[in-house]
Structure 1
Amino acid sequence: MLSSIAIKMRPEAEVMNLERLGSIHSSTLSFMRTLVRRIMKEEWRFEHQLFDLDENGYGTAIYRITTPNDTFSFVLFSDHLSDEDRSDRVIATRWDLTMALCEGVVDDVWLENLRQNVPIQEAGRVDARVFSLSRANRSSRLFDYVLNELCAGRQPNVDRIAQVGYLYRTTAVYGSGKLGMADWNKVSKNFKDFNRPFAPEMFICYLLRQFSLDQIEHIAKKRAGDKAVAIDDQIKRYFGIGNSTGLGMAPYLVNHGELLSQWIEMRETALVQVLHKVRPTTRRVELFHDLLKRAAIHFQETNTEDQEQTERNKILVKELAEVKSWLSAQEGQLDTWSVLSVHAKQTWSLETQELIHSICMEIHPELVNDLEETCTVVPNPVLDPEVSTKALSKLIEERYGWALDIDFSKPEACDAFWYRSEEKLEPRLGFIGADPGVEKQMPLPIGRRVRDCYDLLIDDVKEYPESDVIHFLLRHPSQKSIVRRVQTMTKHRFAEIQANLSDRNIRPMDMLRCKLAFFGVSKFDPRSKLWVRNTMYQGAPLVSDIGQPYGSWFLPLKPVLEENRK
């Protein structure tokens, strides 16, 4: 018998619509938020084991991190990078900064080994004591400006910072066994501090932010001496870490359907708790209004050159004003927040609907935050050979009706294909007739594969009405992987993105946006429908804030300081 929570959850067809997934916003359950809560609650300790940088900030640094459970080391190598070598592309081979998150204490011998391998990234190899590897470039628009201001004894202009938001931008963050690193099983089982999805990767970005602030103050002090000033703490918190995310992230959600379902179910469970189980009190409504105002300013401060995203942000800001007016008109008569959610679905855009949901979760942390412990799952692929082919075809009809409804006979329905580049083995999107390599395409279009399997099943049932899965696969061995996927994913409520991933007009950006929202990033700046710039940890507490009270950093706003120069 389904629980009341399961009954009240939104249907799969609504939740797993790709356009809606591409409209999700970060929330209190996003992975950066949950990691920072853990750091602050457990009062992790950070210290410089080594900070050997010259007046240009080049050299080596090691941060030692002590948690209630273990000790870790964050190792960075900062090198000169010419402007012509600076690139966000994955094919780059040199960066301003490379770094590794390691278990335990790094001694001199290990440091030299890391020095030989970390700066060359994919061309090098590390061992299983390393959890995560990354690289980053200085912001060409902001780093030198902030440095010059500090050297001149002035605070940098906040409006100018808001145009960018970070001193460094990372172009890749690796983990989970790549390049010899510890795999997820080792990390999750043996290191409690990083036992949630992408925790090592999120942590390395948090510490990169800290280093960016430490480094630029170090350079200013070296160059200007006592004339240099430190960055005001409010401005420090407003600095995040930039991130460039490309198509390589998109297939992850398809290839890890069980994990995706767990993330979505965690979020949908939180929504059920908030939307249906509490009456909005006067204080909670006031908090909601405060966050509506904050959201409007946040999105007005978000800079993007993408016309579509600019228009989406304008519509969002306009509709937030309408939400405010509608909510004020209720005069305390709301029985539950679900009334607002239903009205939003009937009235406003997907962006606004999903932001309302994030705000509802934000103002009820006591109902939501404990769910952060449910964000992981142990994959359990299933292939049941004894199921009848009739039962399998019925299962597909029940759970994959969205795929059967797609007309794959139309040329545009099968025009796109996914493949891996020969140079970097990174996922790419090609189009039949325009790009070579269709014969090497990746099996990502689940809907089309399910349709092909279903058609074979129907014909097979006609000829062998009493057959089962094992005999069907003996006759059609190429269908083994999709049959296993169907039998596995139908055990999970939200495992499949209900969209045709081979359609000519597919928007990989929606898949990127979904995953990044679960990470906790903000201020999306699409550069095409294939890659996006965004900001991580903007507004988050600093290492120096540990042990002190801190507020929410949801929807960060630029600080207002009297001494900011025009």
Structure 2
Amino acid sequence: MMRLAAIKASLTGSNALPLRPVGQVMDLERLGAMHQSRLSFMRTLVRRIMLERWQIDTVRLELCADGYGTVIYEITAPQGLFSFVIFSDYLSSEERNDRVIASKWDLTMALVEGRVDEDYLEFLRQNVPLQEAGRVDSRVFVLSRANRSARNFDYVVDQLARGEQPDVANIAKVGYLYRTTAVYGSGKLGMADWEKVSTRYPDFSRPFAAEMFVCFMLRNFSLLQVEHIAAHRAPRTFVPMQPEIKRYFGIGNSTGLGMAPYLINHPMLINRWVEMRELALALVRTLGHIDGEVFQKFDSLLARCSQHMAETVTEDQWQTTNNLRVIDDLFALRRQAEQSLNSWNELLAWSEQHCSLQGQELLVSVILELYPQLVDGLEDYYCAEEFLDLDPLMPLQRLKEVIERRYDWALKIDFSEEGARDIFWYRSEEKMEPRLGQCALDSGKDKQMALGVGYAVYKCYQQLCQYIEEFPQHSTARFMVAQPKLRGIVRRIQSMDRCVYGDIQANLLAKDILPMHLLRAKLSFFGVSKFDPRSRLWVRNTMYQGAPLLEDIGKIYHDDWFMPLAPVNKENTDASVNE
């Protein structure tokens, strides 16, 4: 913790690091414009796997010619032994459903502690394929499921069986063979809770490390499976996939409202993630020297990002327009940098005047990419204890000042305005998944989730001001006795005042709220790419595209899969043929 303490000590005084303002950073639309970076969870996990040279072995491969059966990988990490178990089952077209209400899937899988013997494998076989309908034990860290891509899976098998490589242009449209529909962890369905995983298993002690690892392993299994099926279908003509094309395959993901409440219900953690990203940017702005080599790499990364955006296929017109705007932003940034690039502060300020929010935030990710020696390592501080503490001795005048200073954004909202409180959030009874209700149309507002932080702060402030008029010298404790229902929001206000960035600044009850911004903010921390919104409520994306393969572990690692580009198809004659 010494490095983080030293960095934080530099946040005050005449030589303070240039952190971006809270009101700018925590604006919901800006958070929803972020992109993957060196600090994204997938990048940091893969860096750890490659640099620590985890040993990942296939200890059980029982697949029929059509790819159905059981596979077990054993993972020997520096501080533990784990198993990744996959069940591949036949799924008819009538049963295939990517929605959360599905009950059967092509693949179901689990990441578990230790080695799996026959008895435990049978226990997993009876429960893992059932997902929510089953019950696992605390040896399991993560439970997940996935379905085949209708557009890519059979096509790739057919190509390899014919002795040909899949057309990269086709892959670029849908960059995966499987897509996940849920990845469960942190104590759900009987699994090990986060406290156990984070304290007993250092290899997965960073937030969502185990969940991201499951997606990484799923991606590698998908490549093994298509080659297995193709080899059995046509052993004389089959060719394995070229490594460059393999790396271009990722894992598909569909993310809906289920992810949105997390950002509101874990404010200390989200503040910490944002803080580390902003600390990284501040370090680069302060210490990032710009020379000819840095400039060339910067220009090359901007060109790569532009091509990556051009290769991103989405059916959503809003996202298509945004991608085109970002491409224009990148061209303008390259031209501006050629004319003058004396400091990152100047270029960042220029981008805020001339680029879209997505262009501005992509520039941040690119800048971080240039200085691994300043950025890498901050991921070690991503954990934060999610504990909101009430300070009963705080004078009410002090509490009022905290609200006016840290929640000025909430006090500026006119909640009496039409549409300001039209939406409420609730959990569906069938799947316990978050949903949006309209106050004028739907019943159930009395069971809403407490996600309207801005409105709760506003109501608290109104009642606080009334109370202070009569009892100006009272403490928070006396106010809590008079208004016990405000205890939760007061606890949050006081706790978040101890954070650098605090709460996300948005009215989540407004009729025009875009949950997409919440989804994208969290997904950017995960490290996904190629956002393809399907509505304002859910988005498709791609994970691990361009990442190393299992067979790359042990080789020299350059960590250069930021914004991956489509490879160039080699001649099929270059591929080796299994006779």
What's the counterpart of residue 393 of structure 1?
A: 400
Shift of 1:76: 0.5
Shift of 1:229: 1.1
Q: Distance in 1 between matches of 2:167 and 2:188?
A: 40
Q: String of CA shifts for 1:317-361, please: whole Å, max 9, x gaps.
A: 11211111111112xxx3321111111011111111111110010
Q: Is residue 215 of structure 2 the alignment partner of residue 205 of structure 1?
A: yes
Q: Distance in 2 between matches of 1:6 and 1:403?
A: 28
Q: Distance in 1 between matches of 2:253 and 2:419?
A: 32
Alignment of 1:504-523 (within 5 A): 504-523=511-530
Q: 1:400/1:379 Cα in 2 relative to 1: closer, same or farther (>3 Å)?
A: same
What's the counterpart of residue 564 of structure 2?
A: 556
Aligned letter for 2:40? S
Q: Is residue 83 of structure 2 the alignment partner of residue 73 of structure 1?
A: yes
Instruction: Give unmatched runs, 5+ long, in structure 2.
Output: 1-8, 574-579
Q: Is residue 33 of structure 2 the alignment partner of residue 26 of structure 1?
A: no
TM-score scaled by length of structure 1: 0.98
Shift of 1:222: 1.4
Q: Distance in 2 between matches of 1:562 and 1:470?
A: 72
Alignment of 1:102-501 (within 5 A): 102-330=112-340, 334-501=341-508
Aligned letter for 1:391? R
CA contact (8 A) 1:279 1:337 kept: no
Moved more, 460-469 or 162-171: 460-469
Q: Distance in 2 between matches of 1:153 and 1:358?
A: 40
Q: String of CA shifts for 1:2-54, please: whole Å, max 9, x gaps.
A: 43686510110000011100100000110000000000001111111111111
Q: 1:329/1:335 Cα in 2 relative to 1: closer, same or farther (>3 Å)?
A: closer
Question: What secondary structure does 1:377 align onto?
Answer: coil
What's the counterpart of residue 524 of structure 1?
A: 531
Shift of 1:411: 2.4
Aligned letter for 1:150? L
Aligned letter for 1:473? M
Q: String of CA shifts for 1:422-472, please: whole Å, max 9, x gaps.
A: 111111111111222111111101000000011111111112222222221
Shift of 1:295: 0.6
Shift of 1:511: 0.6
CA contact (8 A) 1:277 1:336 kept: no
Q: Distance in 1 between matches of 2:78 and 2:29?
A: 42
CA contact (8 A) 2:17 2:283 kept: no
Q: Distance in 2 between matches of 1:513 and 1:85?
A: 29
Q: Distance in 1 between matches of 2:17 and 2:115?
A: 50
Aligned letter for 2:248? Y
Q: Distance in 2 between matches of 1:434 and 1:88?
A: 28
Question: What secondary structure does 1:219 align onto?
Answer: helix
Identical counterparts, % of pairs = 55
Question: What secondary structure does 1:28 align onto?
Answer: coil
Q: Distance in 2 between matches of 1:6 and 1:46?
A: 44
CA contact (8 A) 1:445 1:501 kept: yes
CA contact (8 A) 1:383 1:484 kept: yes
Q: Distance in 2 between matches of 1:218 and 1:385?
A: 64
Q: Distance in 2 between matches of 1:404 and 1:187?
A: 40
Q: Distance in 1 between matches of 2:125 and 2:68?
A: 13
CA contact (8 A) 1:150 1:156 kept: yes
Question: What secondary structure does 2:105 align onto?
Answer: coil
Question: What secondary structure does 2:512 align onto?
Answer: coil
Q: Distance in 1 between matches of 2:129 and 2:155?
A: 26
Q: Distance in 2 between matches of 1:263 and 1:465?
A: 37
Aligned letter for 2:419? E
Shift of 1:533: 0.3
Question: What secondary structure does 2:547 align onto?
Answer: coil
CA contact (8 A) 2:39 2:376 kept: yes
CA contact (8 A) 1:157 1:564 kept: no
Question: What secondary structure does 1:83 align onto?
Answer: coil
Q: 1:226/1:423 Cα in 2 relative to 1: closer, same or farther (>3 Å)?
A: same
Shift of 1:60: 0.7
Question: What secondary structure does 1:226 align onto?
Answer: coil
Question: What secondary structure does 1:381 align onto?
Answer: coil
Q: Distance in 2 between matches of 1:59 and 1:436?
A: 46
What's the counterpart of residue 58 of structure 1?
A: 68
CA contact (8 A) 1:316 1:351 kept: yes
CA contact (8 A) 1:419 1:429 kept: yes
Q: Is residue 12 of structure 2 the alignment partner of residue 3 of structure 1?
A: yes
Q: Distance in 1 between matches of 2:250 and 2:479?
A: 54
Aligned letter for 1:347? H
Q: String of CA shifts for 1:226-283, please: whole Å, max 9, x gaps.
A: 3211111000000000000000101101110100011001000000111222231110
Question: What secondary structure does 2:66 align onto?
Answer: coil
Q: Distance in 2 between matches of 1:76 and 1:531?
A: 27
Question: What secondary structure does 1:465 align onto?
Answer: coil
CA contact (8 A) 1:86 1:94 kept: yes
CA contact (8 A) 1:34 1:372 kept: yes
Q: Distance in 1 between matches of 2:379 and 2:79?
A: 19
Moved >6 Å (runs of 4+): none
Q: Distance in 2 between matches of 1:543 and 1:7?
A: 39
Q: Distance in 2 between matches of 1:425 and 1:488?
A: 29
Question: What secondary structure does 1:498 align onto?
Answer: coil
CA contact (8 A) 2:109 2:145 kept: yes
Residue among 45, 59, 76 paired with 2:55: 45
Aligned residues: 562
Shift of 1:564: 6.8
Aligned letter for 1:532? V
Question: What secondary structure does 1:55 align onto?
Answer: coil
Shift of 1:288: 0.5
Shift of 1:306: 0.6
